[in-house]
């Protein structure tokens, strides 16, 4: 999903394991209660508008 534009997507019941979200736009994504293991973020716009500028893994 690197480079994906998921703006406004509903991911509440999603299980994402080892997904690469580098350069992704997650602005306004609803991921409350989503299961995320090993998701990789870099240069990623988070749901609250924050930009992740350092490589980071969500465990």
Structure confidence by residue, pLDDT tens digits, 7-45: 898 888 778 888 898 999 999 999 888 887 888 999 999
Q: How many CB atoms neighbour CB 15 within 10 A?
A: 10
Query: Would you say 5 and 21 are in contact if contact means Cβ atoms under 8 Å apart?
Result: no
As a whole number of angstroms, the distance between CA 18 and CA 23 comes to 15
Q: Quote the CA–CA distance of 7 and 24 in Å, as a whole number.
A: 9
- pTM of the predicted model, to two decimals? 0.77
Of 29 and 1, more confident: 29
Binning pLDDT at 50, 70 and 90, where does residue 1 land?
confident
Q: Is the dihedral of CA 45, 27, 16, 34 positive or negative?
A: positive
The confidence score (pLDDT) of residue 24 equals: 93
Tokens of 10: 């509903």
């Amino acid at each position: 999903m690197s480079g994906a534009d998921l703006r406004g997507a509903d991911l509440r019941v999603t299980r994402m394991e080892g997904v690469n979200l580098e350069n992704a736009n997650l602005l306004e994504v609803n991921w409350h209660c989503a299961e995320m293991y090993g998701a990789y973020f870099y240069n990623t716009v988070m749901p609250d508008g924050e930009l992740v500028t350092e490589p980071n893994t969500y465990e």
